[in-house]
Each structure stands twice: as structure tokens, then as C-alpha cells.
Structure 1
């Protein structure tokens, strides 16, 4: 591993380098090299980060050579024998106990036990530093700063006296260790040397960690595992154009690498290329020929006697969202009776044997409402969804069921008036999979532009219940919105934020920064960072004492799949037909 603060210039020509005892003089700069010969007994994750983030021109070179297990075991036995012999000699001659020797013996014993049990390996590690400057005075000052920084990390950095050329060569990316001042490291200590976690994040990282980006305060990277936190939820707040959708799609793609099943509520048709590339299921609610029956009962769910009752409760929430107003207790009672009557007319009762029968349609529910005393007004208000302009999504059985490792519900084809309804239907379908006790796996539910659902009281309550219960089903909820002030202004919105262990803030509007700053207890510096952040720059918050700023980075291949920048999209080939499930079926019932 090697880090350079600036791009290296061309290598000097032969004869252009003057070699001194401790320095090399190039035509336009000087360099001095150091070898680390002393290390602290215990190190934490990212312990090399201060050196890697040094603001000057500093090369950090880490040379690693594995030691064969047989050789490592033999050397450890010899080391233990020497330490034990020294301790016995001191005891026999009445000398005071050498605590350094005792500590070394304990470490060697622990290493030998771990090696014998196969918990790790030993490596020869050489750590070298090369400082560059333009003049002698600058080099002297830089050397003092680097040595002071190394000393603060309990590292003993010694100059490569009379081996200045070898020290510089060792720091080049040539995989050549010309100094060979090495120290034995075990697997844990060596892994902690790599900048795979930010020192500002005092939180665990598990096997589903994903790369969020590069630290804004150094050259390290920010790795984050939402499934290793207290809960697996997240909120992503940003103004329009700050890069929140890009970051969300980037995390989605990288979580797919880790085997996490993901469902996305996509209001703007931004996940089409991503779904096509990974073979996901793409459901275009509102497209021609796509039908969705909200009265479908979950089959093969593994639930017991309350499936019908739960469906009736959800339908009350859905119809309240359709009507745009809360349902009164009197209307709720009438609606509940009509729902049960519609199922009974289709031959479906509380008997589980009847749950596989074809479910009634929304039109059947309206008919049942008309037959109920006091249900005429509800039936009249639901007419647009049965016989009016919004009927196309509900006037037939469901055309396809969501399945796969990536499920995307596109709402772009839905009229604006029923997008909250489509969002609620999609979330309900996702929740059926999440709550399935016979299919436990890591899942993530992404609700992009969550303000569409949060503006509806019933929809906000449904989202809140999902945020509270997702952890129990090994799932996480990612709420993405650009209306931070509106989200934080409601009690349910504040509760959703409070139930999110991962909080990501991108650039904020000046009108919302006070509300956001107070809600997340941001310092003045953090508020200024969010006001001036470039696209893709973000602040990750995981508690009062665990937060870091980073810049989301993606490879060119990832960018091509997830970008929504019109300039970049214009360079892609036009007219690409989506070769994935659209929600339509052929005559035999197979997805198109």
C-alpha cells in the first residue's frame, strides 16, 4: 500500500540525482526517507490514517510478505523460549522483573495460540516514509512535522542514514524493499493498517459493508455497514441536484454485490438501466396492460389466522389514501363490513383453505359498499378508481407478482394524483416479502422521494410502522427525500429520522439549514459544509460522536448504470428497450 499526496513527476534522468547521507537532491526538489522500527503494542482500525491524510507531500509505503505457517510456528517457539529463559535468569539472579519481557511473552503466546487454531497468519511488514520538499529549509520543517506525527502514533521513525537512495526506491511503486527493516504482524494488526474505515466512525463494520466514498478530511475511504448498526434504517436528506439519488443507487448496486435483496420505490423511472443490468424485476405501475389488485391475499406466506384481518386493515389505510382524507369511525366500520362481504362473495373466509381462491376486485368492494347502509358516499368517492380516469390500474387481476433480488416499482406512468396510492401499494407488496417468516434474508427497502407518501397521513403512518418493525425482519428502510423541512416538521417524520441509525446529509438549501441543523445537532462548521457542499459530498451521521464527511465515488461502469445527469445520458445509446420484467404478461401468464 502506497500513498502520494501529489501526482509524481517524471523520474529524474541518470546523473541528475545527488545522493547525500540522509537526503536526495533532485533538479527541483529534495527527499528524505525514514523506516519505522518501533510500533505500539495495540493498534485500532485505521491507525495509519493520520499519515495517509498528511497534508504535505509524503509517500507512505507498506511492504508485506506472508510467513509460511510452519516457519511462523517455529519462530514463535524460539521467541517464547528466549523470553522464558530471560525471565528465569532474572529470577535466579534476583533481578527485578522485566515487565517488557513479560508483555512480549504474553503477546507471543497469544499469537502462537491463534496461529495453531487457524485464526490468523503472520506477515513480515516494512513501513517506510519519504518526505518531499522544494528547499532545504522546507524539507527540515516537513521532516520535523512527520516525525512528530509518527511519534504521536507511537511509531519510531528513523532516517535511512547512508541509504537515502534505497529508502527512496523502497517508497516507489516498484514492490522492492531495499531497506528490509521489518516487523512481524498478525492478520488483525495488518488489516487495521489499511484505511478501510474512517477513524471518525466508532461503529462496527460487518461482512455487508459497502464503500460509500473517499473521506473529505483525508485520503482514507469510508466503509459503512448498515446491517451492523442498532437498526438497519437510513434517511438521506438533500436539496434537488445534490446527488442523493446517485448515492442511493450506488449503495443499492454495491449492496447487491453482497447478496442483499433490494426493493425500490422509484417515482421518476431512474432505476431502469440498473435493473436491466443486474437482471432485476421492473414493474411499471400505470403502464398500459399493468394491473394491480389491492385485495390479493398473500399466498404461501406462512402467516396464521390473521391474514384476512390484516388485509382488511391495510385496505382501510389504502382507501383513506385514495380519498385523501381520514376516514371517520362510522365510515371505517361500514368499510370493514364491506371488505369482509366482498371476500365472502368471492368464497374467501377466515378458513385458510379458501385463501387460494381468486380475490375480489376493487369494483367488487365498491359493489359491497353500495349494498351497505351508509356506504353509498364511500362508493361514490371511489368511483374514479373503478369506472373513472384512475381505473386502469385496478380493473383486473394482478398481472405479475414482484420477485427477484432487485425489485423496482416505477411510478412515473401513474398520474400525480395517485402516486401516493401507487407508493403505498408497492410498499405493501414489499412488506409481504420482508415479513415472510419462511424466507429470512437481508433486505433493503428504498423509498425514493418519500415526500410523496409523507404528505398523506395514512401513508406516513404506514412508513413509520415499517421503520419501527423492519429490524425484526432483518430488513432496513432507506427514506430519501429532498423536502427535509417538511419531513422534520411532522411528528411522524421526526420519528422516522429517530429510528434511522444511518443518517446521510448532502447539500442543503439555506432555507432548510436551521431546521436540519437543529434536528441533527450540527456544529457551525458542519452547517457551512452542507451549505457549500459540491454534488456528491455528504455527511454521514451515526450518533453524536460518530460522524464523518465523504465524497461519493463510483467507477465509470457504475456511473453509466446509475447516473441521471442529462448530459451523461445523452451519450448513451438511444432507444434501448428494457430487457427485463415490465409488469405485463403474455397469454400464458409469463412475464414479458
Structure 2
């Protein structure tokens, strides 16, 4: 009786770490075993054994199987052969080959080229093993094909066998041994088939790295992707590159490429497909590249710098009811003035500016009470007047420095209340009409207007639409310290507001050469690299940990070709578009239908 009680207590204490407990937790509900396939849960699986290999293998000879466009488990079992055993086997093999050669010579036969080649290879291998340059291994290679139905399983098995035959690998089904074959392809380290082939170190090394050139398929039991969009085709495997930026840790992205690499074309494609996915898109466009696209799809274009178009940086969002809303506008005006001046003002001028902003709001009758925020907001010239009224050297100096933007040549953008309230699924903020001195401030004003809409808590809820903010030619803003800080803050805060920030630049040095640019990259779960300049490839390779092959790919990439990276996932792609998408992206909206 005590012994029985001990056994019952031990069984009760057994946890999932035990073999049976682990199988009960992660294993399928049932397995149906037939001679040519297994039914595992709701799917089907069939195992193939690689029985024949080519005489010589090249680098990455497993890549065609690893990149097969379907669910295929490739298992490689490697068992080292002791050096003493390897040397003895090689001596016997060389003796047999040499005996055949001498027999043919004694009988006057022509030399067998196969025997001659095998004898030379055996002698070379024996020499490398004796010197410690190589070792022998017993290798088993098994392929487990998965499919949701029997018909699809038969088709997939035939496709996999044809793919293996293309690299001179002979395969045979594990008939009557499907259960052992399935367990041999699981991450258990158990070879239940024992179909091994002796290989040397070089042959095994050429099979590595065991990585696919395609994005990984969902794990068993996980549902397939329900969202996402087509990014392009994989030139290595002809597979489809389908990516959902909204399913990642954050929806931010960076697109880095040299001029003429096709980055604007790729971003326009993403904008079009995001609109079809019910995403609200706002684009900061310095070169009017998105204006015709916005017109074609019913979007709204706001041309900063055009006659009568003004933005008041002191406006408080009408839907914002946070008690700190006025303070937030004052802080943004500090950032804007630092960008206007090209530097952060001295402490004495910053103190005078802060007092002047509060005085301007007070004179307009706007306090920290949300009920007063619907009143007309003060203008930049009102802040300058408040500075002059302080009658101090610091305030007077700062007021004089702000003269070009309040009463001088650059006043048009700030000289009056906001004239345009953006609305619509696609809003394009064009800064093409702005002078070079106003390009960075204009981009900052556009981003602020976009962010005020995204950050308004009154409209944030579970049904808040997804928003994508696209900043093209971001180097214009990144070269200003305060502008770069503002962009980095947006990159950090976008995820909590169901928004994504997409930063596009051709000046890779401005983004990678600063700490704030590194912050933008670190907070972008999706990273797109198109063709790079030879002068920048070393920096890009160092920041993104590119391999030598990936660096060469980016140097020789054609227009629209590049790398999609997210964490450990990396895949090459070539952007593809439908005929109508192509017309919209290149701006040729008058292309005849028969073209």
C-alpha cells in the first residue's frame, strides 16, 4: 500500500516537462497513421527521405527546399564519425577502388572514369582527414510536407519532389514509416528513420545557413494573416512578399534609398493599398510627388506657401479637453521658433519667450479653462508684440530676430488665422511653394497639424481608425536639431495612438549619423532598404547588420528592388503594381486605355 500511494503521488506531481505531459500540452488531439501519410489534427503530413545526392554540391544547396512556397519542414540529422572509424573506412574504400583499377589494368581494360574520380576523391579526403582539415559525418535529410487536404497534399508532395530533383536530390516517400518520419522532423533530436549518408565537413557547411529567403509561415496552430498588403515578389523564390505593418510591435517604418532607386514609387504603392485597407493617410510632400495621386483618389491637398494658405501654430485643437492643452501649444511654439532661428535661443530669450506666449494667450482671453479654447487664438505677431512690451534686452533681441516671420518677407505663412482645416482619408501637405528657409518649419507645421488630429483624446477609442503619417525627404527636417527631436517623439508615441510613422529619405547620412536618427530607426519595426550608394553602404551595413551578400544586393539592386527587414526576418523583394496602380504612381493619368 505505501508503494502504491507513492506511485500515485509521483504521477500527480508529473508536470508538462515529462514526455507524456509535454505531448498532452503541445501535441495534436489525434494522429491517424496510414502507409503514405499522417492525419495530424485537422491537417495532413507526408514525409520524404532524401536517398540520393549529387556528386558535388554548391553553396546553399538546400535553399530551393528552404524557400519552397508552402509549409515544409526540413530536418537535417548530423552525427559525427570518430576519426579512427573514418580513417579505417576510407582505407577499405581506397583499397577496393585501387583493386578495381589494378584489375582493369591487368586485363587490358580501359580505365573507368567513375572509378578514377572516386579514387582521387577518396585519396584527397583521406589526406584532409589525416591533417585535421576535415571530418566525416553521418547525415540524414528528411522533408515533411503539410497540407490542409489530401488533394493538396498530393500536389504539394509532387511539387517538393520536383524541387528536390532540380538540385539532383533523389527523394522517396517513407512508406509504412510515416509516423517515424514525422517525429524525425520535429525538434526532438530523434532520428527514427536512420537513413544516413556519409558527408564531409565541406558538404555539410555548404548547406548552411539553414534560413529561408522567404518570410516564415505561421506556426502550427496559429491562424494565417488576415491583414497586410502586397509588397512585391521575392526574386529568389518567386514567392509573394505579403507584410502587415499593423501586426508588428509598432506600425512605424523607414525607407532608405539613393536618388532614383524607386522609393517614391514604392511609397505611393503602399499609400494606395493602405487607402484600400481603410487606413487614413497624411503625407508631407516636399516635391509635389503625391499631389496628382491625391487628386486622382479624391484626396485633399494643402499647398503651404501658396497665396492665402496659413497655419497658426498657436491654435488649440477644438476637440482637446486636456487641462495641459495650452501648455502643449506653448511648448510646440518653443520648438518651432528654434527651427525658425536655426538654433535654440539662449536661456534669457527662452524665458522671455515663454512669458510672451502666456501673455498673448491671456490677452486673447484664453486660459487653462477648456471653455475658452474656442476663442480666436493669438498669432505669432501677438507673441512678438508681447516680447516688445517686456522692455528687456533679451526680449527685444528675440523680437527683432523674429521680424522676418511676423512682418518681413516670410510672414505670409503665419500672418493670420488658419485658413484650411484638413479632412479626408488622404491629406497631402505640399511644401513645394515654400522658400528654402521655410521648408523645414513648413514640414514641422504640417506634422504638428497632423499630430494634433491623431493625438486628440476625445476621438481616441477602440474604433479609432488607423492612421499612417508619411514624411518624404525627411532629411530636410532631420538636419535641424529641434525638428529631429520632434520627429523622434512622434516615432515613440505613434503606437499608443493607433498610428504609424513612415520616414523616407535619400540622405542616409542625416538619419544614420545622429542619435535622434538612430532613435527613429530603433522605433521602426518595418525597415525598407532599396539601392544604396557605394559611399553609404558601409554605414548602412553596420547599422542594419547586413551580410556581405545583402550589401552587394543593395549596391546592384535595380529600381524597385530592395530588402524588407523586421527583427530577424529579412527578405528581398521587387515592387510590383497593377496597370492602374502604375499609372497613378508615375503620374501618367492620361495614359490611353489601349496602351
Could you say which TM-score interval applies, normalised by the shorter chain? Answer: 0.5 to 0.7
- Counterparts in 2 of 1:344 and 1:130: CA distance versus 1, 3 Å: closer
Deviation at 1:147, TM superposition (A): 9.0
Which residues of 2 match residues 459-538 of structure 1 at below 5 A?
A: 459-538=483-562
Deviation at 1:212, TM superposition (A): 0.2
Q: Deviations over 1:546-591 (max 9, x none)?
A: 1000000111111111126xxx68x659xxxxxxxxxxxxxxxxxx
Q: Secondary structure at the match of 1:288?
A: coil
Taking the aligned partners of 1:285 and 1:396, their CA distance within structure 2 comes to: 14
More moved, 477-486 vs 519-528: 477-486
Gaps of 5+ in 1: 1-35, 61-106, 112-120, 133-139, 157-196, 574-592
Aligned: 1:456 with 2:475? no
- Counterparts in 2 of 1:402 and 1:522: CA distance versus 1, 3 Å: same
Contact 1:131 1:143 in 2 (8 A): no
The residue aligned with 1:417 is 437
- Counterparts in 2 of 1:536 and 1:205: CA distance versus 1, 3 Å: farther
- Counterparts in 2 of 1:264 and 1:149: CA distance versus 1, 3 Å: farther
Q: Secondary structure at the match of 2:494?
A: helix
Taking the aligned partners of 1:325 and 1:361, their CA distance within structure 2 comes to: 22
Alignment length (residue pairs): 420
- Counterparts in 2 of 1:297 and 1:524: CA distance versus 1, 3 Å: same
Q: Secondary structure at the match of 1:375?
A: helix
Contact 1:485 1:516 in 2 (8 A): no
The residue aligned with 1:246 is 265
Taking the aligned partners of 1:550 and 1:153, their CA distance within structure 2 comes to: 36
Q: Secondary structure at the match of 2:501?
A: strand
Q: Deviations over 1:234-280 (max 9, x none)?
A: 11000000011111111111011111111110000011122112211
The residue aligned with 2:101 is none
- Counterparts in 2 of 1:334 and 1:142: CA distance versus 1, 3 Å: closer
Give the superposed CA RMSD.
Answer: 3.6
Taking the aligned partners of 2:429 and 2:401, their CA distance within structure 1 comes to: 26
The residue aligned with 1:276 is 295
Taking the aligned partners of 1:232 and 1:152, their CA distance within structure 2 comes to: 44
Taking the aligned partners of 1:141 and 1:221, their CA distance within structure 2 comes to: 20
Aligned: 1:404 with 2:397? no
Deviation at 1:502, TM superposition (A): 0.5
Contact 2:232 2:575 in 1 (8 A): yes
The residue aligned with 1:582 is none
Contact 2:529 2:562 in 1 (8 A): yes
- Counterparts in 2 of 1:572 and 1:295: CA distance versus 1, 3 Å: farther
Aligned: 1:337 with 2:360? no
Deviation at 1:141, TM superposition (A): 9.9
- Given candidates 462, 465, 473, the residue that maps to 1:441 is 465
- Counterparts in 2 of 1:208 and 1:221: CA distance versus 1, 3 Å: same
Deviation at 1:38, TM superposition (A): 4.3
Q: Deviations over 1:280-311 (max 9, x none)?
A: 1110111112111111111012x320010000
- Counterparts in 2 of 1:123 and 1:406: CA distance versus 1, 3 Å: farther
Taking the aligned partners of 1:59 and 1:518, their CA distance within structure 2 comes to: 31
Taking the aligned partners of 2:534 and 2:563, their CA distance within structure 1 comes to: 16
- Counterparts in 2 of 1:558 and 1:520: CA distance versus 1, 3 Å: same
Taking the aligned partners of 2:529 and 2:380, their CA distance within structure 1 comes to: 41
Q: Deviations over 1:460-514 (max 9, x none)?
A: 0000001011101111110100011221110111111111110000000000000
Contact 1:200 1:547 in 2 (8 A): no
Q: Deviations over 1:350-393 (max 9, x none)?
A: 12111000111111111111112221111111111111111111
The residue aligned with 1:318 is 336
Deviation at 1:201, TM superposition (A): 7.4
Deviation at 1:436, TM superposition (A): 2.0
The residue aligned with 1:549 is 572
Contact 1:286 1:411 in 2 (8 A): yes
More moved, 518-527 vs 428-437: 428-437
Q: Secondary structure at the match of 1:325?
A: coil
Taking the aligned partners of 2:501 and 2:338, their CA distance within structure 1 comes to: 23
